[in-house]
Amino acid sequence: MIKEKVQVTPWADKSDSDPLHSLCSYLGAFPPSLAKYFIKYFTDENDLVFDPFSGRGTTILESRILNRKSIGSDLNPIALALSKAKSHKLKKKDIIDRIDELESDYDYALYLPEAQSESDEIHLIFHQATIAQLCYLKDILLTSKSDIDEFLIGAILGIMHGGERKDGTSGYLSISMPNTFSMSPEYVRRFVQTKELNRVKRNVFDILKEKVERVFSKHKSPEKESYIFECDAKEISKSEKLKKYQGKVDLILTSPPYLGIVNYAKQNWIRSWFLDSDPIEISEKLDDDLNINQWVQFSKKTLFEFKKMLKPNGVAVFVIGDVAKSKNSVIPLARDFSLMVKENKLFKNVWVFSDYIEGVDKTTRIWGETKGKATATDRIVILSDINPFENNNRINGKSVLTYKLIQESTKHFLG
């Protein structure tokens, strides 16, 4: 087990995070303050940032806020929906007007039969009237190419399920349950019986407008827009849409899938239902249930693809979490990752910085004593064929990662 002093990081202050980041919870997300720091550290305005595991779009949104060009890709429909929701320049008034329009066109009698035909699992979670509204919105939004409708899909995913307030009201549509992940259908059934929960009629349009008001409370939609693509990270070079960006990316900032901890499709089956996605089919496509050897091979394949996207002086930053093998044993994935990079001479320089990421949606914080194997320590792995720390004056102030600090951390971690 690695014993080390965890440094206080320059991105520890999360107080100024844009509220749009909270559009929807997502397992394994890294804090926006981390994305903000490295985007500012390694790029200038109008540089191109790429996140090949775009997740809930943290890198994408921070790039837009900082006036960088950005692209993202993913295979998970939920990740694609959330990243797209944060990729457009939108006005709150236009979004609210669209919700009002959708509500005025809604016909309960027309969608009641469809709601009644939904599975028992869905009826355990939502009131029948709420299901009917969701069926209507699925019918309209999932076939739309409108930027606003893409945003609304992401916003609906964010209100699909979560806890009730003490007074019985809720900012979510479901019975009172966790908002970060979907409990299994069988667990939901037992949960409902044990807690004697009742499905409360929740108006999707009202709660959706409340959500929009919250996330736009301090959000000033940036001018820059992002482009999000469905793509397997192992086959980026085969993507016609991404091909035009090859050799043009200044910074890759991303977090690879966890090592057999988070099955993003199965643990989001309720949101998958809204997207008309089959969690089992999606799970088979995703690389989120690998053992250590498979994970290293996966990382090697994807890194070959990522390097084709970078400029010769580009930088790649990976947030890679440790995995607890047992109570007193930890697998430092970043070490295996870094050694693989060195062995295959993929980049001339490899640096590793250790970070204790607190207060994010990590598996460890969700299940308590029945938690998965994620730990609170993440490693920031920085790869480049140049030394991007030399003459770097982009970040001012005391909280700066110096080259000396990076060297010391890397030496301690890699030996």
Cα–Cα distance, 393 to 399 (Å, whole number): 13
Question: Residue 330, Cβ neighbours under 10 Å: how many?
Answer: 16
Q: At what angle do helices 204-215 and 128-141 cross, to 10 degrees?
A: 60
Close Cβ partners of 397 (under 8 Å, ≥ 6 residues apart): none
Tens digit of each residue's pLDDT (9 = 90 or more) over 228-264: 999 999 999 999 999 999 999 999 999 998 765 555 5
Distances from the Cα of 408 to the Cα of 5, 242, 306, 322, 352, angstroms: 12, 37, 27, 19, 9
Cα–Cα distance, 360 to 70 (Å, whole number): 23
86-106 per-residue burial string, b: 16 or more CB within 10 A, e: under 16: bbbebeeeebeebbeebbeeb
| Domain extent listing, the chain | 19-80+227-414, 92-216
CB burial class (10 A; 0-12, 13-18, 19+) of residue 214? Answer: middle
Q: What is the pLDDT along the chain (415 residues), one digit of tens a residue?
A: 444 555 567 787 767 899 999 999 887 778 999 999 999 999 999 999 999 999 999 999 999 999 999 999 999 999 999 999 999 999 999 999 999 999 999 999 999 999 999 999 999 999 999 999 999 999 999 999 999 999 999 999 999 999 999 898 999 999 988 888 777 777 777 777 666 667 899 999 999 999 999 999 888 889 999 999 999 999 999 999 999 999 999 999 999 987 655 555 568 899 999 999 988 888 778 877 788 899 999 999 999 999 999 999 999 999 998 887 666 677 888 999 999 999 999 999 999 998 765 544 443 333 333 344 555 578 999 999 999 987 666 665 555 778 888 888 899 888 7
Model's pTM, two decimal places?
A: 0.90
Q: CB of 272 within 8 A of CB of 59? A: no
**19-80+227-414: in CATH 3.40.50.150:** yes
Residue 185: per-residue pLDDT: 75
The phi, psi pair for 211, rounded to 5°, reads -65, -45
Cα–Cα distance, 248 to 49 (Å, whole number): 9
Bridge partners of 383?
316, 350
Residue 264: per-residue pLDDT: 58
Cα–Cα distance, 357 to 201 (Å, whole number): 38
Bridge partners of 170?
164
DSSP per-residue letters across 139-201: HHHTT---HHHHHHHHHHHHHSSBPBPTTS-BSSSSSB--SSSPPPHHHHHHHHHHHT-----
- Reported as type and span, the H/E element at residue 125 is helix 120-125
Residue 257: per-residue pLDDT: 86
Tens digit of each residue's pLDDT (9 = 90 or more) over 269-291: 999 999 999 888 887 788 777 88
34 token code pair = 């981390």
